[in-house]
Amino acid sequence: MIGVLGQINPGLLLVLVGFAGCLIPAQRVRQAIMVAAPVVALLLLTLAERGTDLSVVSVLSIDMILYRVDSLSFIFALAFLIASFLNAIYALHTDDRLHDGMALAYAGAAVAATLAGDLMTLFIFWEITAVSSVFLILRAGTKAAYQAAMRYLGVQIFSGVLLLDGLAYVYKSTGSLTLEAFTSFDQPGAKFVFAAFAIKAAFPFLLKWLQDSYPKATVVGAVVLSAFTTKLAIYAFARMFPGFELLIWIGAVMTVFPVFFAVIENDLRKVLSYSLNNQLGFMICAIGIGTPLAINGAAAHAFAHIIYKGLLFMSMGAVLYRVGTAKASELGGLYKSMPWTTIFCIIGAVSISAFPLFSGFVAKSMTMSAVAYEGYVIVWAMLLFASAGVLEHSGIKIPYFTFFGHDSGIRVKEAPFNMLLAMGIAAFICIAIGLPTIGGFGYGWLYSMLQCTVTAPADVCLMSGDEIKPYKPYTADHILTQMQLLMFALLAFILLKRFGLYPPERPGTILDTDWLYRKPGYNMVKWAGNVWGKAGPAMTATFADLGARAFEKIETTFSPRGALARGALTISMAMWSAVLLGIVMLVVLLA
Amino acid sequence: MNQPPERDSSGRFVKPEVETPLPGDETMHPMSRLLFGWVSSPRVPILILIVVVTTCIGLLLLDFGLERHEKVEMANANGFYALWGFAAFGLAVLSGWPLGRLLRRDEDYYGEADTKPDDVEHGS
């Protein structure tokens, strides 16, 4: 019995339950299922045997490996399932069966894609994540959400099409679709697959779908969206493109540029979206480094990030739910009415800023160390800059302008209990995996799940260069340097505020690279449409006129009443026949 | 009668300051009073500054007493992380002034000013 259960892909189970959930009208029954399903899926995942193909289906002579677990896929799937469970609790105050069902199906598709053993299975669940998640934006019900959802869907489907192209090339050249890591861009299909993952991972300057859509989603939807799509792409990169140097530089740029946009952005859910982008940069950079320490860093960072970023989105969602806005210029002083949300938000902020004793500290430091070990000094300096930037936008801006700062005079009720419960569990995890290892808690638990590439105890399988030794985040050096970085950045904030040098939060739209296709691109298409609207009828009239004139000329020449028909008809015909015959004979002779 | 919306120095509309008196402390959540009652004291900003400056000085002194072995050579300099953190934060924040002028447009620039989702408590 246990053997059979161990062969069921927990993600597939969630997808089916999610779709079925859309048909269950009874709110409490549906929600009980939504909360229980991730727990059952988690049990199934723990029962699974590692490193073997647990479920294989043959379709059109292609072997689809529906379920395969190893340490890399396990940690991502585990994080997705925990996030799915928290999201279900967070959504308990709502009654929207389509939203509930699609949220679970989306989470399930991400889990199933992570546990897929071949490119075709990955592609199928990749597409299900795209289609199911769009409902989380659409259900916000605004015109902005509708338009963003359409752009989001277009981009996600485009990513899927690229992946399909890539896997077709791979299959044609190798006859197999197993998830073998690429070693070069020259391999068939590598560029297509890379581009597909790049779009989903929200690479810089690539369609900007993340910052466009997440802030326009529903309160719950933004929390759900923050966990899955981009981290699935991170997993896919770690699986298929480890050690690609290009990723190091892309990741470094990705960590830096959102910092500047987050400073001037007023919508705090959009600030969190920029922050999400910045965090993905660290993971991409680590995957580009590709050493065991770096890949472990990317996986640990993804796990910690899913929880603390979810927590931050939950706290802003709670504010949005109660106040009706998440704009910094309209908020402030909410600690007076939402104390628990304030505390949970601060825990999320401290975690993402990588203060010692919190999850970001033990996760992000591995990436920083891996970059330094490999001698990428400029990249390391960029990541260090971005670390101070994280403190600015997520560590200070989010909690300060929402809960402290200028008192907006807004007094609301504390967030609903289910929201607080979800935030409380997430906050607990942020602390539990950030502590030194004490009695089953602490970073040792997180590290024990990381990919092991050497024969060594689970918590010491982290390598740095040629030297095999455990990675220890809690060293005097590391604590001191990290605290220096953060405390002096905090000091800069206090001084900038005190001397009035901190830019005020102002309402407005901040232009980003999506401006190119949303304004000039759109206007160009509109202009082309207008031109065609006017030129089309004019051209039709011109061609009709020319046609009529040509017909009239031909008719006046060749018709029975035409010029050629008048007199000497037989002589003329005989003469033309002789001329044509002569031409034909000449051609034949010369040929 | 509604007042016309105010504009900032660049001519853009800004939200007028709330003129109504702020609610008193009696409207505060009991837990807020317990956990954050000290926040509203006028002495708090200067106290925070003192604590942060003292901590920063302490961290710098510790740095002089600790021999570090960083893989990146320049990071071995005493106070490197302190300087980097301060400068990076300052650069990021101060860049907000020119970037704001360059990139900020009206809220309804894309015709999408209303982003309040339906699932908020007082939603549409």
User: Buried (b) or exposed (e) across A414-439, using 16+ Cβ within 10 A?
Assistant: bbbebbbebbbbbbebbbbbbbebee
Nearest CA in chain A to B111: A144
pLDDT tens per residue across span A544-582: 999 999 998 888 877 777 776 666 566 777 888 899 999
Tell me how close the Cα of B26 comes to any Cα of chain A, in angstroms. Answer: 10
pLDDT at A57 over 50: yes
Is A339 among the domain residues? yes
The pLDDT assigned to A493 comes to: 95
Q: Is A442 inside any structural domain?
A: yes
pLDDT at A262: 94
A23-35: burial string, b at 16+ Cβ within 10 Å, e else: ebeeeeebbebbb
- CA A193 to CA A191: how far, in whole Å? 6
Q: Is residue A399 part of a domain?
A: yes
A52 located within any domain:
no
A473, A507, A541 — which closes off a domain? Answer: A507
Mean pLDDT of A163-170: 94
pLDDT tens per residue, range B10-63: 566 666 555 667 777 778 888 998 999 888 888 999 999 999 999 999 999 999
Mean pLDDT calculated for residue range A410-434: 95
Cα A374 from Cα A386, distance rounded (Å): 19
Quick one: A428 and A375 in the same domain? Answer: yes
Instruction: Kindly state whether residues A338 and A437 are assigned to the same domain.
Output: yes
Give chain B's length. 124
Same domain membership, residue A439 and residue A422: yes
A254-303: pLDDT as tens digits: 999 999 999 999 999 999 999 999 999 999 999 999 888 899 999 999 99
Alpha helices in A500-568 (DSSP H): 515-518, 520-558
| pLDDT tens for each residue of A516-542 | 888 898 899 999 999 999 898 899 999
* CB hemisphere CA count around A513 (13 angstroms): 11
- The confidence score (pLDDT) of residue A567 equals 60
Between helices A219-227 and A71-90, what is the axis angle to 10°? 170
Asked whether residue A209 is assigned to any structural domain, the reply reads no
Q: Could you give the number of structural domains in chain A?
A: 3
pLDDT of residue A569: 60
β-partners of residue A56 are: A65
Q: Which of A288, A287, A265, A262 is nearest to A276 (CA)?
A: A262
Residue A182: which region, alpha, beta or left (left: phi > 0; alpha: psi -120 to 50)?
beta
Q: How far apart are CA A170 and CA A181, in angstroms?
A: 11
pLDDT at A207: 66
Q: What is the mean pLDDT of residues A8-31?
A: 94
Domain membership flag for residue A471: yes
A460, A586: one domain:
no
Residue A370, token pair as written in the block: 């891996």
* pTM of the model as a whole: 0.88
What stretch of H or E contains B13? Answer: strand B13-14
Is A590 in the same domain as A448? Answer: no
| pLDDT (tens digit per residue) in A343-373 | 999 999 999 999 999 999 999 999 999 999 8
For the stretch A183-232, pLDDT in tens is 999 999 999 999 999 999 999 877 689 999 999 999 999 999 999 999 99
Min distance A220 CA to chain B CA atoms (Å): 8
Q: Which domain holds residue A418?
A: 242-507
The whole-angstrom distance between residue A466's C-alpha and the CA centroid of its chain comes to: 34
Q: Can you read off the two tokens belonging to residue B74?
A: 């320049």
Q: Are residues A372 and A427 in the same domain?
A: yes
Which residue type sits at B22?
L
Residues 6+ apart with CB under 8 A from A431: A347, A351, A357, A358, A359
**pLDDT attached to residue B16:** 58
Q: Which two tokens stand for residue A96?
A: 């929207």
Segment 220-259 of chain A within 8 Å of chain B by CB: 220-221, 259
Question: Which residues of chain A make contact with B15, given a CB cutoff of 8 A?
Answer: 329-330, 507
Distance CA B65, CA B75 (A): 15
Tell me if A470 is assigned to some domain. Answer: yes
Concatenate the DSSP letters of all residues of A391-426 into one string: IIIIIIIHHHHHHSSS------PPPPHHHHHHHHHH
Q: Are residues A409 and A546 in the same domain?
A: no
Residues A397 and A546 in one domain: no
In a domain, A543, yes or no: yes
Please, what is the end-to-end C-alpha distance for chain B in angstroms?
A: 25
Domain boundaries, chain B: 42-104
Cβ atoms within 10 Å, residue A128: 23
Question: Does the beta-carbon distance from A506 to B100 stay under 8 Å?
Answer: yes
A452: pLDDT strictly greater than 70: no
Contacts of residue A270, defined as CB under 8 A and 6 or more positions apart, other chains included, come to A211, A214, A215
pLDDT-derived band at A48 (thresholds 50, 70, 90) equals confident
Token pair 């008192």 is found at: A407
**Candidate from B45, B89, B100 with C-beta closest to A392:** B89
In this prediction, residue A220 carries a pLDDT of: 95
Please tell me which residue, A312 or A439, carries the higher pLDDT value.
A312
Name chain A contacts of B62, Cβ cutoff 8 Å. 480
Q: Are both A404 and A348 inside the same structural domain?
A: yes
| In a shared domain, residues A367 and A389 | yes
Q: Which residues of B touch A494 (CB under 8 A)?
A: 48-49, 52
Cα–Cα distance, A223 to A418 (Å, whole number):
14
The shortest CB-CB distance from B119 to any of A218, A340, A503 is to A218
Residues A351 and A494 in one domain: yes
